[in-house]
Amino acid sequence: NLWWDADIRKFYVTVVTCLVTLSILLLVSASLWNGLTFRDVFLEIAAPALPLIIYAYRQWKENGEAVARLTRLKELLNVTWKKYLSENMTDVECHDASRKLQDQIFSNREANPLIPDFIYNLRKSSQHDSMAYSIDDMISEMRNSSAN
């Protein structure tokens, strides 16, 4: 799930960046084609496009921070999982580690900016298979560990 969330956010930032860049290039090209002066381009295109540029920058920044948090959380999860598999954690240690992970997942979800539903729907089917494969791997890994 952490990998999926990070991947969705990277995809969303790419889509927003491409759309904004393409829009600005089209507007500037059309204005140059029509022979507008620099003043006209600035007043009629650049100034009205500024909110779009600011929005794109905020999305890039906020989702970049979210990806960094997800990466750190995934690393903590991997360390905890390896410790669980190799050291046979006690129930109390397992509970405490699980609680810490759950708290951090909640904090991360609370801090993450929203992603439009259509972005999730675009990526959902291709990533669902990867997630199921990952879960199957973890179950196999746990079974192999407990057999040893």
The secondary structure of 31-76 as a DSSP string is HHHTT--HHHHIIIIIHHHHHHHHHHHHHHHHHHHHHHHHHHHHHH
Q: What is the pLDDT of residues 53-71, one digit of tens each?
A: 898 899 999 999 999 999 9
* pLDDT tops 90 at residue 52: no
- Arithmetic mean of pLDDT, 117-138: 70
- Residue 42: C-alpha distances to residues 36, 37, 51 (Å): 10, 9, 14
Q: What pTM was estimated for this model as a whole?
A: 0.72
* pLDDT tops 60 at residue 7: yes
Query: CA 59, 62, 68: angle at the middle one, nearest 5?
Result: 130
